[in-house]
Structure 1
Amino acid sequence: METLQSHFHNWFGVLFFTVIYSLVFLFLPFYKKMDKKPAGTYLAFVIAFAIEMHGIPFSMYLISWIIGKNLPEGILWGHTLVSSIGFTGMYINMGCSVIAMCLIVNGWHNIYKNYWSKETGTGSLVKKGVYKYIRHPQYTGLLLLSFGMLAEWATVPMLILYPVMINMYIRLARKEEKDMIAEFGEEYREYMQETKMFIPFIV
């Protein structure tokens, strides 16, 4: 109990994790207004994670107040299901973070090198690197990064925001694909048939 309680009221920790998880924005495109809402939802998710992990466990207080008794450790406060799986959620988060950053940075590198950096403002359709396997590696990475946080420290706001965020990024990806079809035509349609949207060989 004392170990878990030591997480709270650490506002430097709140700021640190908010900044760390927000660094992914440096590797994501923001060239359209509609990108801002999904990004804002992700930022809200990160802030909820950081505050409830290191600041104040609002979910624990709220649910405890509603049901009239304290929640057990790991249920909407503390490491997720810590009494059943120990710190497994924390290790899942670490693994998800590594994979997510590889996807995001590899996606950014290939897009920047072969599309954005062209002097004319246009470039070729990117099918190299991770784009050989999925069409939206950066969004997959962002959602995987968020899932890792949820696996480590699930709270009410995060459980609400995560499916909302999935829906928003799916809609954003579909909108971007319409733009790609308008730009590359049949070449992009063929690419869509050959490559999955978010998860290789699955979806």
Structure 2
Amino acid sequence: MPNENPFRISLVIVIVLTMAVTVYYRLQAAKSGEKISRKDEGYLFATVLRLAGLVLWISTFGYLFFPAYFQWAALPLPEWLRWIGVGTGVFCSLLMYWTLSSLGKNLTDTVVTRAEAKLVTHGPYRWVRHPFYVTAALLMASVTLLTANWLIGVSSVAVLALLAIRTPKEEQMLIERFGQEYRDYMARTGRFLPRIGR
């Protein structure tokens, strides 16, 4: 059985790097003082999404601080694959910086577009419309690999599935806000993956 301490230390590094980026940009966006409503997302959906996220955080911190209680969810992954998860996790913190620095003060945690929002089409948004979700998916996959914990993996899939379900509503609100400009942007970019040949 491998020594888990290097993987726990790696997980802390990935969490600290990623959270430093996301907290900074969320605070910058919040400086506008604009109140963001959950009504358009739907209170029930918002609650379910946040509960899935809570399970993900509990299982992640459980792996870190209460390993004996979460050993039942261990996956028998080879160490080399877990180290790939570590490398991918560190890379994701850089990708998160690129994504959120490009998005700037447009950032919200719901489908609502800020009153002063501008359509972002540079940085990773040049190729895909939702690089934040792509980065989150890569980050969750890397954490699943480095922790070798299926509970983290399952709760990650639940969060990502809910975000994917929510995305069409988010895009409809962007169409309502930016009109033909957003439709043109949709025609040349993929939702989560770049369009081939563009």
TM-score normalized by structure 2? Answer: 0.69
**Bigger RCO of structures 1 and 2 (CA < 8 A, at least 6 apart):** 2
Aligned residue in 1 for 2:111:
none
1:81-112 superposed Cα distances (whole Å, 9 cap, x missing partner): 13xxxx22332223322332233222222222
Identity of aligned residues (%): 21
1:112-139 superposed Cα distances (whole Å, 9 cap, x missing partner): 26x57xxx94243111111101111111
SS in 1 for 2:194: coil
Distance 1:171 1:55 in 2: 32
Distance 1:2 1:108 in 2: 35
Q: Does the Cα contact within 8 Å between 1:89 and 1:153 map onto a contact in 2?
A: no
Corresponding letter in the other structure for 2:94: C
Q: Return closer, same or farther for 1:24/1:37 CA change in 2, 3 Å cut-off.
A: farther
Q: Does the Cα contact within 8 Å between 1:134 and 1:200 map onto a contact in 2?
A: yes
Distance 2:47 2:135 in 1: 17
SS in 2 for 1:3: coil
2:81 equivalent to 1:81: no
Q: Does the Cα contact within 8 Å between 2:129 and 2:192 map onto a contact in 1?
A: yes
Distance 2:135 2:22 in 1: 12
Aligned residue in 2 for 1:48:
59
Q: How many equivalent pairs are there?
A: 174
Distance 1:18 1:96 in 2: 9
Aligned residue in 2 for 1:106:
98
2:129 corresponds, among 118, 123, 135, to 135
- Which stretch of the first structure deviates more once superposed, 148-157 or 26-35? 26-35
Distance 1:18 1:128 in 2: 26
Distance 1:164 1:17 in 2: 24
Q: Does the Cα contact within 8 Å between 1:99 and 1:141 map onto a contact in 2?
A: no
Q: Does the Cα contact within 8 Å between 2:127 and 2:189 map onto a contact in 1?
A: yes
Aligned residue in 2 for 1:146:
140
Corresponding letter in the other structure for 1:77: A
- Which stretch of the first structure deviates more once superposed, 17-26 or 153-162? 17-26
Q: Does the Cα contact within 8 Å between 2:59 and 2:152 map onto a contact in 1?
A: yes
Q: Does the Cα contact within 8 Å between 2:128 and 2:194 map onto a contact in 1?
A: yes
Flag structure 1 segments of 5+ consecutive residues without an equivalent. 62-75
Aligned residue in 2 for 1:73:
none
TM-score normalized by structure 1? Answer: 0.67
Distance 2:64 2:154 in 1: 17
